[in-house]
Amino acid sequence: MALLVTLLLAMAAIVVRLTFLQVKDASAFEALAHNQRVRTIALPPSRGTIFDRNGDELAMSLPAKAVYADPHLVRDPAAEAPIVAQALGLDEAKVQAQLGGAGGFVYIAHGVDAKLAAKLEARKLRGIGFLDESRRYYPADSLAPQVLGFVGLDGTGLAGLELQYQSLLAGRAGRQVVEEDPTGILIPQAAGSDQPPVPGDDLLLTIDRDIQYRAQQALISAVKANHAKGGTVIVLNPHTGEILAMASYPWFDPNHFAQADPRAVTNRAVTDAYEPGSVNKVITASAALEEHILKLNTRLMVPDHYQLYTKTFHDAEPHPTERMTIGDIIAYSSNIGAIMTAHLLGTDRFASYLYRFGLAHRTGIDFPGESAGILPPVAQWSGTSMGTIPIGQGIAVTPLQMACVYATIANGGVWVQPRLVQGTVGPDGRIIESPAPEARRVISDQTAGEVARLLGYGVDVGTGVQAQIPGYWVAGKTGTARKVNAKGTGYSNNYVASFIGFTPASRPEFVVAAVIDEPATVFGGIAAAPLFRDVARFALARLRIPPAAPLAIPPHAVRIG
């Protein structure tokens, strides 16, 4: 009897326990079981492609694998870690820590080459899995790297256009819910829900791959020939604002960005400001002609030095007092002539043209880190500012800002916002063009034509003769500016040499800005003008631009001395 009672009590206890398990605690155990066999996997989207203006790929996504681990299924982390680490080129200790972790899912590596992943997958390591994804690839290696930027291991843009257009290029991640048995094998036909990823939009740039390549080759040759620290080249369509090429040396390979010198990653054409020197004289001349302070045939008595408060300014070479036209002042880059011209304008009128041409304002090119340059407010100008600023000292500009100044002259006096992106292409193939660039009139068409004549004269007989291209007329200006000391006080013995111009001079098709940093040859006419010539000559051939009629020489222009 006692045994029967014991059995009945035991059965009652079991029934009560089962009731608790199947009724009261059912939802908790169901959730536990679900978590043990069901896993949600993030599905990264395919990043959009970046094309040049002709549809050639500059940045693309290739098939790759993500390698992950489920530590619950890894029996011997110490044994598997060396195999995984060696195959993927990772730190063995870090991999072992991931394989032996307490979590249920951990990524070991992203963007693994598909063939490399296949070799590792063939080892059939317990707890190691593979997911389809993509990796960023730059087929032209070091072509326009500062413009394109690069993508991190997590697929996020970290620099350049990859960063600026991250939200468009990245797309939208999806997800996959799977069930697996205790050994990690997926359960066929198990309940699950998938949300496919949405690929990113493609970018169609204004860059011409061939012009970009030749510009970079010419730039590195010029830097080496002049024993320089570096340099920058921009090729710009003055009518549309489209940038055909933009390069800064030294550069890097975005396929291996982790090995790059941080200084080589910067797009100095947009982010770095420098004192422009004599290329700024084109603004002084434009303002004087627009305000009718001078005519093309007006002559000024120009000495070789000029005293302004505590500072004496000099021309590059001594000369007796000369009767100089504005054409002579620009062609032979007379500092004193430019300063005298600015004083005829007066401080306020002169300063207004600096702002109208875009100095001290970002161009709005839609690129990360663009600098506005440095132009002190007129109220902060010193007694010598009307001596330094007219000749391009005491202010700082980006190469792009100054290229836009010359593009304004080439475009009949209308400033056009520069741009790198023509439009985007969605996953459905629909092309969305970028908004029309901002444009504003700075000077009259007549004044722009007169200034172009001055610049053409400077290349014909002045400091820019080495920019000449057989069969074509070139208009442009040289610049040679001392660099500010790294400590921020005074000037060093290093220079920035530049030449900015356009061709054909009477019917401009593009502007080329050539800037050489710390050339041993110092002068813009020697270091930078040949770089302009080499880049422009190829662009003329590439774009199949025929010669145009020559510009008329400014009246009564005479050689100094």
CB 74, CB 100: distance < 8 Å: yes
Beta bridge partners of 327: none
Backbone angles phi, psi at 106, to 5 degrees: -150, 135
Strand order in the sheet with 38-43: 38-43, 174-179, 194-195
**Choice among 134, 142, 248, 278 that is catalytic:** 278
CATH 3.40.710.10 domain position(s) in the chain: 209-542
Domain 209-542, CATH homologous superfamily name and number: DD-peptidase/beta-lactamase superfamily (3.40.710.10)
CB 508, CB 540: distance < 8 Å: no
Helix, strand, coil proportions of the chain in percent (round to 5)?
Answer: 35, 25, 40
Digit-coded pLDDT (tens) for 27-55 = 655 555 555 556 666 677 889 999 999 99
Mean pLDDT value of segment 141-166: 94
Considering only CA atoms, which of 500, 538, 528 is closest in space to residue 221?
Answer: 528
pLDDT of residue 28: 55
Mean pLDDT value of segment 286-310: 95
Supply 348's token pair.
């306020």
pLDDT of residue 126: 86
pLDDT of residue 77: 86
* CA 266 – CA 232 distance, rounded (Å): 11
Torsion of CA 373, 376, 377, 382, to 10 degrees: -160
CB within 8 A of 103, min separation 6: which ones? Answer: 71
DSSP string of 164-193, one letter each residue: HTHHHHH-B-EEEEEEB-TTS-B-TT----
CATH 3.90.1310.10 domain position(s) in the chain: 62-72+80-135
Question: Is 278 annotated as catalytic?
Answer: yes
Q: Which residue is associated with the tokens 């256009």?
A: 161
Q: Is pLDDT larger for residue 35 or for residue 361?
A: 361
Digit-coded pLDDT (tens) for 92-121 = 899 888 888 777 788 888 888 888 888 898
For domain 62-72+80-135, give its CATH number from 3.90.1310.10, 3.40.710.10, 3.40.50.150, 3.20.20.70. 3.90.1310.10
DSSP assignment letter at 327: H
Question: Do strands 50-51 and 202-205 pair parallel, antiparallel, or not at all (unpaired)?
Answer: parallel
Quick check: helix, strand or coil at residue 19?
Answer: helix
Mean pLDDT value of segment 331-347: 96
**Percent with pLDDT over 70 in the chain:** 89
HSE, side-chain direction, 13 A CA sphere, residue 489? 0
* CA 421 – CA 26 distance, rounded (Å): 58
Examine the pLDDT at 193 and tell me if it is beyond 80. no
pLDDT of residue 300: 94
Alpha helices in 151-261 (DSSP H): 160-164, 166-170, 209-225
Examine the pLDDT at 424 and tell me if it is beyond 80. yes
* CA 412 – CA 356 distance, rounded (Å): 15
Provide the mean pLDDT of the chain. Answer: 89
Q: How far is CA 203 from CA 271, 367, 437, 489, in A?
A: 22, 14, 17, 43
